[in-house]
Structure 1
Amino acid sequence: MSSAVEKKYYLNLPLWPEFDIFDKTVDGLIPSARIESWEDYDRVVRFYCDNDHEDNYVFRGQKHYKWQLEPTLDRLVHCAVTENVAEKQLRNFKLSTRGRLQDKSVLNSDTELWALGQHHGLATPLLDWSQSPYVAMFFAFEGADDPTWVDDDTGELNNYSRTVFILNKSFIQDLIDDEGILQAGEQLQIVEPSIDDHGRLVNQAGLFSFAPYGEILESSLERHLAESGVDTDDVKEVAKYICRIHIPNEKDTRQACLKKLRKMNIHHASLFPDLIGASGYCNDLIRDSIVSSEKDRQNEEVSATLIDEKKQRSEKFESISQYLLDKAKVKGFLNDGLLTNEFVARSVTPQQINYVIDELFSFINEKAGVDWYKKESVLARLRNILRRAMRKQQFPEDHIDSSAQTLIQIAARESIIIEKEDWLQDEGDE
């Protein structure tokens, strides 16, 4: 990659499994990498979910490459939420849930209550994670790009990549003190609620991270890593505990990705086992149907255009080919080209030579196309056809390659002459 900064941010990053912190305003303190397409995500999954890493990592998908790891309550107050703000939000939520909770035991735990509020739209200090990397992929791609995500200069959408964060859950869980009792917001922790009234957490393999009040996850994690003797200046080392994967957000990427995930039973209806999920699932299906219908219509229009162009080329080609085929002198050129090789002339009969020449004409007339002599793939096929024909007619093996090349050169020369004559004729008619 050149030293110049790429407009598409993710192109400035190394390919996974290498990492870098290219721009802290985008990736903060988190080592980042890119993959070349969403299909390459499977390789990432195999690495983080193999036997050595099993259950160590959790995943979080985000739709815009510039979005930070920022809980909804942090975004609401535009900074790392303080204990005072969090207590006010939680106290108001407790009051507003009176008479609305079937299981009141949730009121005995602040973290349980935060988790309940998180899945009902409450702004909280929690961040959603999933133990499934493909659920994270779904949340990275499930929403269309917002129309406001545009480049100020060009007016084009500028959300160049969707991202998946990967967090070492085991390291954070090991931070819990011997008693295993933590107050909410006291220390960086992983929260796995025991109450899941709508089944979403189970279906999404969901859990939460909870940073200490006044801190963000990445700075808190960096502090704990340093205290644990990890070299936090070594990007490769830090990436073992937290990292970010940028996935190109190209045209049609989202629908192709979601279609694959749907085959894995990862979609709105399975992740949100309620009417909201069912509605989202139906919206996806009808959206796909509309896109598919539009593509079919476009393909039909393209096919009709191609058929018309092919017909026109065929009509022109037919006149050129027939001219070539009917020209006795062209056959004479081909025949003479072979007979200049005395060994070939002594080894084969005129009938055997005519057979080979007929094979050449047959291919040019029926399959090659007007500008066949310009296409290496067509020339390669023609060489193989001529070689087979010569072997069948028992041409001397040592002279087959050179004889085939001679025939092709003569036929190409004559085709070029004929095309020029045809073009001159067209110019005269105009």
Structure 2
Amino acid sequence: MNEIVVESWNELQEALFHDSWMAEIGRFRSRYAFRGLSDKSYDLESALLRLGGDYAELERHLLRNFRKYAHRSDLLEGDSLWHWLSMAQHYGLPTRLLDWTYSPFIAMHFATANIEKYDVDGAIWAVNYVSLHKLLPSRLRDRLQNEGANVFTVEMLNGVVTSLSELDQISDQDLALFLEPPSMDDRIINQYAFFSLMSNPSAVFSEWFKQYPEIWRKIIIPKTLKWEIRDKLDQANITERVLFPGLDGLSDWLRRHYSPRDGELKS
């Protein structure tokens, strides 16, 4: 079964760290990407897809104008498509990218941060990016192997593919990969963040990888467990104050931290 319903904090830890032991090096090193969602019914749809309409055609216009108007010199350290796409995603532009984290605890945070969703079950998706990358065409697989890497950086990917149309033409089938963005700010670093990328902007990631059941799991977090998880994460300092450095993150943390269990702020 790819869907796992946990009933306790301990069961959740076991499910998240399952299959992380690597006997060949004698270490616990998970090869999973994690994405936490406050509602288990949510699919893994990109913000571009959620725009509706002819979003695939809009994508190039969005990116072109983002590049044209972005003028902060401290952010313009690279000029590849993948650098700009990563930066656009990070700053809220709808793109075909999806946010993931290497950290199961940060995924737990995003599954429990929205207290207005405590009346529904949440979920954490886990995808084995090493196994997923074995599905790539040799042109891309060889790049990872030559670098001794498990995930692409923007520089590595640009050495193989320089445009979205070229990515789409590598294979006659939809493909997916994981991409590490540059460390543009503390938010990316603190969230241990990276992205998934589909060659087809119309594809829903969670639908695409169902044909490969061996590479993914969906861990269901019952609504009755959310408060315990949330309180323990706060005690462990996995909070908005850390993951979103700045006054916005501080305010979000304080607002949630002092909210009563019914989710309604006192006047």
TM class, shorter-length: 0.7 to 0.9
Query: Partners of 2:8 and 2:50 in 1: how far apart?
Result: 30
Query: Given the superposition, is the C-alpha separation of residues 166 and 103 from structure 1 closer, same or farther in structure 2, using an over 3 Å criterion?
Result: same
Contact persistence 2:96–2:198 (CA under 8 A):
yes
Structure 1 residue 57 and structure 2 residue 47: aligned?
no
Query: Partners of 1:63 and 1:117 in 2: how far apart?
Result: 24
Q: Greater RCO between the two (CA within 8 Å, min separation 6)?
A: 2
Partner of 1:119: 90
Shift of 1:177: 4.1
Query: Partners of 1:71 and 1:101 in 2: how far apart?
Result: 28
Structure 1 segments, 4+ long, off by >6 Å, are none
Partner of 1:266: 238
Partner of 2:129: 169
Partner of 1:360: none
Partner of 2:12: 41
How many corresponding residue pairs? 230
Shift of 1:96: 2.4
Structure 1 residue 280 and structure 2 residue 252: aligned?
yes
Query: Partners of 2:75 and 2:13 in 1: how far apart?
Result: 40
Query: Given the superposition, is the C-alpha separation of residues 216 and 95 from structure 1 closer, same or farther in structure 2, using an over 3 Å criterion?
Result: same
Secondary structure in 1 aligned to 2:7? coil
Query: Partners of 1:41 and 1:50 in 2: how far apart?
Result: 17
Partner of 1:204: 191
Query: Partners of 1:206 and 1:259 in 2: how far apart?
Result: 23
* CA offsets 1:192-217 (integer angstroms, 9 cap, x no match): 01242x21111111100001123332
Query: Given the superposition, is the C-alpha separation of residues 182 and 218 from structure 1 closer, same or farther in structure 2, using an over 3 Å criterion?
Result: farther
Query: Given the superposition, is the C-alpha separation of residues 54 and 240 from structure 1 closer, same or farther in structure 2, using an over 3 Å criterion?
Result: farther
Identify, as 1 or 2, the structure richer in helix: 1
* CA offsets 1:8-35 (integer angstroms, 9 cap, x no match): xxxxxxxxxxx1xxxxxxxxxxx32211
Letter in 1 for 2:4: A
Secondary structure in 2 aligned to 1:77? coil
Contact persistence 2:115–2:256 (CA under 8 A):
no
Query: Given the superposition, is the C-alpha separation of residues 276 and 96 from structure 1 closer, same or farther in structure 2, using an over 3 Å criterion?
Result: same
Partner of 2:75: 103
Query: Given the superposition, is the C-alpha separation of residues 55 and 184 from structure 1 closer, same or farther in structure 2, using an over 3 Å criterion?
Result: farther
Select 1:188's aligned residue among 166, 176, 184: 176
* CA offsets 1:48-103 (integer angstroms, 9 cap, x no match): 43335724111000011111000111111268x52x32211111211221x33423
Partner of 1:395: none
Correspondences of 1:144-155 after superposition (within 5 Å): 144-145=115-116
Structure 1 residue 92 and structure 2 residue 65: aligned?
yes
Letter in 1 for 2:94: A
Query: Partners of 1:195 and 1:182 in 2: how far apart?
Result: 21
Query: Given the superposition, is the C-alpha separation of residues 219 and 246 from structure 1 closer, same or farther in structure 2, using an over 3 Å criterion?
Result: closer
Structure 1 residue 217 and structure 2 residue 222: aligned?
no
Query: Partners of 1:210 and 1:100 in 2: how far apart?
Result: 25
Consecutive unaligned residues of structure 2, counting only runs of 5 or more, are 144-155, 168-174
Partner of 2:105: 134
Consecutive unaligned residues of structure 1, counting only runs of 5 or more, are 1-18, 20-30, 148-156, 223-231, 233-237, 295-430
* CA offsets 1:200-252 (integer angstroms, 9 cap, x no match): 11111110000112333245446xxxxxxxxx4xxxxx4430121111012xx
Contact persistence 1:212–1:220 (CA under 8 A):
no
Shift of 1:105: 2.6
Query: Given the superposition, is the C-alpha separation of residues 184 and 206 from structure 1 closer, same or farther in structure 2, using an over 3 Å criterion?
Result: farther
Query: Given the superposition, is the C-alpha separation of residues 142 and 166 from structure 1 closer, same or farther in structure 2, using an over 3 Å criterion?
Result: same
Identical-residue share of aligned pairs (%): 25
Partner of 2:151: none
Query: Partners of 1:35 and 1:146 in 2: how far apart?
Result: 18
Secondary structure in 1 aligned to 2:100? strand
Secondary structure in 1 aligned to 2:214? coil
Letter in 2 for 1:61: G
Contact persistence 1:72–1:123 (CA under 8 A):
yes
Shift of 1:285: 2.9
Select 2:217's aligned residue among 201, 219, 243: 243
Contact persistence 2:178–2:195 (CA under 8 A):
yes
Shift of 1:139: 0.2
Query: Given the superposition, is the C-alpha separation of residues 35 and 254 from structure 1 closer, same or farther in structure 2, using an over 3 Å criterion?
Result: closer
TM-score after normalising by structure 1: 0.49
Letter in 1 for 2:7: E
Shift of 1:110: 1.8
* CA offsets 1:128-148 (integer angstroms, 9 cap, x no match): 11111111011001002359x
Shift of 1:291: 5.1
